[in-house]
């Protein structure tokens, strides 16, 4: 599903114009981005949890070459 398709679904499901649904989606995504940048965890019950996790660097191989 694309962002445009999601906006269409929000507009029809909530009885909003596409412009208002787009603004609502953008505001929601911005709020999630800001929280994640602050290191917070975002939990949407019944949907999922978003969080930023630190991971160790991985060694990668270039196609045809061995790992060093």
Rounded alpha-carbon distances, angstroms, from residue 30 to 5, 26, 51, 59, 62: 19, 6, 14, 33, 36
pLDDT for residue 62: 75
In a domain, 62, yes or no: no
The boundaries of the domain holding residue 32 are: 3-50
**Domain count of the fold of the chain:** 1
Query: Quick check: helix, strand or coil at residue 52?
Result: coil
Q: What CATH number should be reported for the domain holding residue 26? A: 4.10.520.10
In a domain, 59, yes or no: no
pTM for the whole thing? 0.75
- Cβ–Cβ under 8 Å, residues 42 and 48: no
Smallest CA-to-CA distance from 20 within 34, 30, 5, 10 is with 10
pLDDT of the chain along its 68 residues, tens only?
999 999 999 999 999 999 999 999 999 999 999 999 999 999 999 999 999 999 898 877 777 776 65
Tell me the C-alpha distance between 53 and 13, whole Å.
34
């Amino acid at each position: 599903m694309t962002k445009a398709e999601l906006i269409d679904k929000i507009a029809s499901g909530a009885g909003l114009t596409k412009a208002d649904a787009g603004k609502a989606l953008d505001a929601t995504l911005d709020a999630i981005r800001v929280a994640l940048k602050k290191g917070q965890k975002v939990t949407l019950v019944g949907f999922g949890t978003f969080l930023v996790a630190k991971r160790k660097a991985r060694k990668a191989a270039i196609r045809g070459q061995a790992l060093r």
